Structure 1
């Protein structure tokens, strides 16, 4: 017998209609797909939509990170090596590795970012509207260290 299950009562279920999007760095909107509080801190997943020209400074953090490109094209610097990722591609960034990304393709890029362990997602909810010196200070509270400028356009 097939019993109906209320999926909203299950762990890790978040319906699209319930997602909250927010501004992060200039040109980027984020939503937290899975919060670390839902995984006992093991991981978190965020989705971003990055407009043309959006870029992160080169940085490190203790978390391992995987980016999966859902739409668009994004340039990544990983330990100084440059890669161009397009729809369907993924990149693994070991914790402690210098990295940055830039959308210079002329169209928005949509990405999923998986962090393990989780917890850093809270930083992104606090970064909107801050100037670089404030971002550097906030990031350091979450174990993220800005080590250089964004990738050149």
Structure 2
């Protein structure tokens, strides 16, 4: 299939997925681009994924607020205008800062993130989440929980 031009406006966004308390909107899926994926992530203060890794590169651009990023034993605060790149296989996590965060995340061509987020939204509805269920879903899509 040949990729086609993609034009997305706030009025045409897909429903935001609930992924462990974060609202994640798929702006461009692998199916749409035949390559990378782009997500708009909005997380309330304190939300964010546990330490994990996956088979794809992931980059974050902070639009509003701040987020504490942890990777390779380094903990840094990313504020509005910050860009963070995490190579495939790197164990990383983040926590949304005071007042929450709004950021873009962009993944590389091997990404299964849209499928991962959609499945978590559909199958993990209780908080705190069933960790064994998260591990099973992650394994399905090339992501691994744990430090």
TM-score when normalising by structure 2? 0.87
1:59 corresponds to 2:52: yes
Any idea what SS the aligned residue of 1:57 has? Answer: coil
**Distance in 1 separating the partners of 2:95 and 2:115:** 22
Which 4+ runs in 1 deviate beyond 4 A?
none
Q: Report the CA distance between 1:79 and its aligned residue.
A: 1.2
Which has the larger share of strand?
A: 2
Unaligned runs of 5+ in 1: 1-9, 149-153
Structure having the higher Rg: 1
Q: Report the CA distance between 1:55 and its aligned residue.
A: 2.1
**Distance in 2 separating the partners of 1:145 and 1:79:** 16
Cα deviation, 1:33-53, whole Å, max 9, x if unaligned, reads: 11111111x100011100011
Which residue, 79, 83, 89 being the options, matches 2:82?
89
Q: CA RMSD in A?
A: 1.3
Unaligned runs of 5+ in 2: none
Which residue, 13, 21, 35 being the options, matches 2:16?
21
C-alpha contact (below 8 Å) 1:72/1:108 kept by paired residues: yes
Matching of residues 1-153 of structure 1 within 5 Å: 11-19=5-13, 20-25=15-20, 27-40=21-34, 42-103=35-96, 105-117=97-109, 118-128=111-121, 129=125, 130-148=129-147
**Distance in 2 separating the partners of 1:30 and 1:88:** 19
**Distance in 1 separating the partners of 2:75 and 2:8:** 34
TM-score when normalising by structure 1? 0.84
